Copies of this chain bind each other. A is one copy, B any other.
Amino acid sequence: MVKRILVALGGNAIKKADEKGSSAEQFRNCYATCKLLAQIVKTMKKGDRLIITHGNGPQIGNLMIQQEEVKHLVPAQTMDVVGAMTQGQIGYMLQQTLMNCLREEGIDTPVCAVISQTLVDKEDPEFFHEAATKPVGNFLTEEEAVMLKKRNPEYVIRKVKPAGERIWRRTVPSPHPVANVEEAAIRRLVDAGFIVIASGGGGIPVIQDEHGRYKGVEAVVDKDLAGERLAEVCNANVFLILTDMEKVKLNFGKPNEQDVDKMTDTEAKKYLEEEHFILGSMEPKIKACIQFLESGGEKAIITSPDKTVEALEGKTGTLIYRN
């Protein structure tokens, strides 16, 4: 039975929360992650495939600070372009490091990172309400928030944290991914045996005009939902989401908090409705897993990077499967 595994790497696989994000730190984290990915590749049989997607939150955050702070010297690029930069950055770091880790295992499977645009609907409801849901860039004081709004009247800036002085942040729409623009190339490479890195940071969000022409928009597509689209494109049957928790939790943060070993898509939907999962964090991951199973995927697994191999063997993590 052929296995096609789509792995979605969270931000902490590349930059840890307590690090500043130097190149050396990020390469070190990539190495730890890619050593585990190489273990997966090692267990793969002829015809099996690995496809990788990744977040870009910390990287785009840092780049946006640089863009904003040096505006007087160098024009700040639009968000789609900055997102593209992070695909270059992270795609390169992962691609090189994974090649090296495979080589250390004596495996010569080629790796290729592809610049990826994600088509979104220009009528997506996220574009129409003031309270765009995705926070981007750094935390601001009220004074800084007022300044930023003055310089960029089109920005939505809102309170996002309940405590401290820096409680303001720019938020942007997080529209639903409709399609991977480069899906033909990605599928071609995957079929030919390449490990493909694609749809980084949820893909660069683009809309289509009435003539079918693409245009970047200031938005962020959720990387797990975009990863799910990518999984469909690549006919993946296993969808593995790596995050900062070994298992999904019900009643998260409450006294009756409880690990989930496995659940069906129907159960997952019920838990979603009961609001067990943090919006914008675990919630889109669960949604992506349900969508994956409904579109024909076999199993979705959510776990932490260090538990990758055991989770694939069914020994830990949270397994979500079809009824």
Contact = CB atoms under 8 A, between A and B. Distances in A.
A23 B78 contact: yes
A67 interface: yes
A211 interface: yes
Copies of this protein, total = 2
Contact of A88 (B24, B110, B115): B115
A35 to B, nearest CB: 13
Given A62-B74, A66-B70, A88-B88, A216 B114 contact: no
Interface in A59-101: 62-63, 65-67, 69-70, 73-75, 77-78, 80-81, 84-89, 91-93, 95-96, 99-100
Contacts of A12: none
Interface in A15-66: 20-26, 62-63, 65-66
B117 A115 contact: no
A197 B206 CA distance: 19
Interface string A213-240: 1111000000000000000000000000
In this complex, which of A78, A114, A216 has the most chain B Cβ atoms within 10 angstroms of its Cβ? A114
Contact of A92 (B22, B103, B117): B117
A19 to B, nearest CB: 9
Contacts of A212: 103
A184 interface: yes
A203 to B, nearest CB: 10
A194 interface: yes
B75 A112 contact: no
Contacts of A100: 213-214
23 contacts: A21-B75, A23-B81, A25-B75, A26-B81, A66-B70, A69-B69, A85-B89, A86-B88, A87-B88, A88-B89, A91-B115, A92-B204, A92-B216, A96-B215, A96-B216, A100-B214, A103-B212, A103-B213, A110-B185, A112-B115, A113-B114, A115-B115, A185-B194
Interface of A: 20-26, 62-63, 65-67, 69-70, 73-75, 77-78, 80-81, 84-89, 91-93, 95-96, 99-100, 103-104, 110, 112-115, 117, 181-182, 184-185, 188-189, 192, 194, 197, 204, 206, 211-216
